[in-house]
């Protein structure tokens, strides 16, 4: 997976908070979880369900409990039942208005999320305090791509069911306001930010290339071959943008553009990278109705 693929839409959307832990790692509440008697003494309305301290522990999961909600969420997600999975989170208003055709627009992103879900989810603890709950679950590490660690998922009781909180209060307001447009807008925002970063990376790649080849700049294929650029700069499938590099003056100068692959769906702003003789290259952008910016 290339560097750009790692920061695709699914990493940016709020579902990532569910996949790698909504907040800090489980250590922040481990003491509370492991001292159930103290917790119950401190608050009569608090119930604590913890695992035995053995290798790979599991707790008893009661039907309809916060832990059960988490278990079902990951099961649905792994099975590719995205709508059913998201219905268990506070992202629901962002997806319940989408048709199946509209939901399919995000299939690549959601499939990437599903692939990261382990075959078996280990739930190590459950803390319930009134209408709030925390479930301790072993998930892929956010810092170590090949590792796992115990992390926290937070839930709230809404009516007679538990809801996984993946979006904070501010994001939840935005979701309620934008409804089914939320994911599309967030995807465009993400692609736009990544388009700027890609052009900035291209500028650094050209600096490195020209240092080894004085007076000239490289083609995109050369920069990829030298591992200066990720291969997905040549495809809009994961980036949402089409990139063009223009070498001028006998390869002694250049400029580059990034244009939305589908205007209004994968992005709105177009971007241009222009080297500067007096400083670092400059990336600028604006809404150009889906057309490349001109130098």
* In the chain, % of residues over pLDDT 70: 78
Instruction: Give the integer Cα–Cα distance in Å for 148 and 175.
Output: 30
Res. 20: pLDDT tops 80: no
Residue 143 banded pLDDT, cuts 50, 70, 90: low
Looking from the CA of 38 toward its CB, the CA atoms found within 13 Å total 6
The 10 Å Cβ neighbour count of residue 22 is: 21
**Range 250-257 contact pairs with CB under 8 angstroms and sequence separation of 24 or more:** 250/216, 251/216, 251/217, 252/215, 252/216, 252/217, 253/217, 254/206, 254/217, 255/295, 256/199, 256/202, 257/292, 257/293
Output the pTM of the full model. Answer: 0.66
3-state class of 217 per DSSP? coil
Residue 295 banded pLDDT, cuts 50, 70, 90: confident
Q: Which two tokens stand for residue 187?
A: 């995807």
pLDDT of residue 87: 93
Q: Which residue has the tokens 């943008």?
A: 241
pLDDT of residue 277: 75
Query: Mean pLDDT for the chain?
Result: 80
Q: Which residues of 222-255 are buried (b: 16+ CB within 10 A; e: fewer)?
A: ebbeeebbbebbeebebbbbbbebebeeeeeebb
Q: Which two tokens stand for residue 226?
A: 């030298």
């Amino acid at each position: 997976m290339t560097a750009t693929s790692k920061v695709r839409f699914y990493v940016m959307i709020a579902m990532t908070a569910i996949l790698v832990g909504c907040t800090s790692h489980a250590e922040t509440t481990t003491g509370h979880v492991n001292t159930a008697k103290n917790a119950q003494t401190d608050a009569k309305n608090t119930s604590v369900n913890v695992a035995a301290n053995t290798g790979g522990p599991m707790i008893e999961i009661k039907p309809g409990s916060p832990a059960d909600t988490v278990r079902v969420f990951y099961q649905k997600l792994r099975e590719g039942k995205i709508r059913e999975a998201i219905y268990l989170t506070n992202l629901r208003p962002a997806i319940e208005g989408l048709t199946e055709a509209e939901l399919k627009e995000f299939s690549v992103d959601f499939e990437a999320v599903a692939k990261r879900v382990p075959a078996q989810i280990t739930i190590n603890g459950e803390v319930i305090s009134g209408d709030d709950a925390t479930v301790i679950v072993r998930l892929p590490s956010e810092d170590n791509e090949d590792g796992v660690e115990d992390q926290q998922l937070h839930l709230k009781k809404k009516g007679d069911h538990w809801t996984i909180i993946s979006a904070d209060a501010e994001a939840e307001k935005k979701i309620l306001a934008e409804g089914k447009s939320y994911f599309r807008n967030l995807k465009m925002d993400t692609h736009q930010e990544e388009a700027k970063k890609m052009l900035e990376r291209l500028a650094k790649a050209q600096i490195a290339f020209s240092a080894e080849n004085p007076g000239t700049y490289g083609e995109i294929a050369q920069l990829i071959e030298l591992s200066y650029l990720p291969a997905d700069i040549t495809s809009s499938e994961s980036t949402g943008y089409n990139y063009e590099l223009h070498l001028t003056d006998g390869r002694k100068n250049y400029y580059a553009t990034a244009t939305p692959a589908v205007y209004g769906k994968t992005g709105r702003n177009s971007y241009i990278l222009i080297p500067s003789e007096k400083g670092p290259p400059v990336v600028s952008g604006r809404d150009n109705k889906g057309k490349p910016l001109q130098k």
